[in-house]
Amino acid sequence: MRPGFVTRLVNGPLFDPVLYVRHLNRRRALLFDCGRFSGLSNREILALDAVFVTHTHMDHFMGFDCILRTVLHRGTPLHVYGPEGMGMRMAARLAAYTWNLTSGYGLEVFVHEVLRDGVLLWCARAGEGFRLRRCGTEPREGTCIVETPRYRVDAVILDHNVPCLGYVVSEPVHVHVRPEALKKHGFRTGPWIGDLKDKVAQGLLDRTLLVPTCRGEEEWKVGDLSDWLFFTSPGHRIGYFTDFRASRENVERIRSAACGLDTLYIEAYYLSEREEEAYLKAHVSARQAGVVARLTGASRVVPMHVSPRYHDRFGDIVSELERARLGGE
């Protein structure tokens, strides 16, 4: 079965961690961290609805300018999520440029500063020279920070000597199409299937939809179409955790938010021989990443953000992680 998200570690496992997450069959995407990167096309950047920043060390945040530069003429907003202090950091970033030419631009940047029991919301408009202003506080229920019909994002606050967010992105439910039912009714495939999924997710079962068929376009009721065409399974879940120390509190926070992941992206900064240094610098070793993977029950684990010290020993990083994941630390 095809997963609901298509993911790509833009810089590979060794360099600044940047995870691109595209919704299957849609031209919309999310980005997790934005350090130094190349390898994302303008089209891919233009598809971004939101950027989820774990923390603002340079290797996770310096590429934000490239994103802003690409979406500057866009009419749809860009959402940026980050930890405590994110509003102030974004204000400083945006204030670094001269904006006298953007008064006619429609871009709005919404900044969501994630705190323990609420989210501070800020807004900066291109037409106002990107002056960041507070526009409210959203209460936070549990760990959820975004909920849409197509996906939800949960965030936990981890200790990296500074607050650092760990994220889980998940589909509420995964909707599959029965190809035999399409054929039986003479329906042609196309973007209408995405529209149908959206309407089903929003509970708009009485609405109608124009469906291209071998007989021409036909009007069908959303409820009838979903009964014939769809079946569901549990939604796809992806975890993204980097830059944290292997303290009991951090591991417990990850475990409680990230059970049953399809894929866990996790830093494996050192080999276990440097766990003391890892603890001091608030990173985790490959062994510790493997233990976290085991505790969360992730089906697949992708190590990332490996220290330059170990770039020529990536095979050792992978085997140490796998050994710990399977319980043979």
Point out which residues bind Zn ion (CB under 5 A). Answer: 57, 59, 243
Residue 265: in which H helix or E strand, if any?
strand 263-267
The structure tokens listed for 205 are 């079962």
Nearest-approach distance from CB 99 to Zn ion, in angstroms: 29
Closest to Zn ion by CB, 20 or 130: 20
Instruction: State in angstroms the smallest separation of the CB of 280 from Zn ion.
Output: 13
Task: Provide the sign of the torsion angle of the four alpha carbons 300, 304, 309, 311, taken in this order.
Answer: positive
- Minimal CA–CA distance to 189: which of 210, 223, 212, 208? 212
Residue whose CB is nearest to Zn ion in the complex, by number: 57
Nearer to Zn ion by Cβ, of 59 and 113: the residue is: 59
How near is the Cβ of 133 to Zn ion at its closest, in Å? Answer: 28
Closest separation between CB of residue 67 and Zn ion, Å? 18
Helix (H) or strand (E) holding 155, with range, is: strand 152-159
Least Cβ distance, residue 305 to Zn ion (angstroms): 6
Strand partners, 175: 232
Question: Which two structure tokens, joined as six digits, stand for 260?
Answer: 């049953």
- The secondary structure of 15-57 as a DSSP string is SS--EEEEETTSS-EEEE--SS-----HHHHHTEEEEE-S--S
Q: Judge whether 163 and 86 are in contact, CB under 8 Å.
A: no
Q: Cα–Cα distances in Å, from 113 out to 33, 45, 118?
A: 15, 22, 9
Nearer to Zn ion, 62 or 115 (CB): 62
CB of 159 to Zn ion, least distance (A): 11
Q: Which is nearer to Zn ion, 22 or 57 (CB)?
A: 57
Nearer to Zn ion, 102 or 307 (CB): 307
**CB nearer to Zn ion: pick between 243 and 320:** 243
Task: Please give the distance of CA 96 from its chain centroid, rounded to a whole number.
Answer: 27
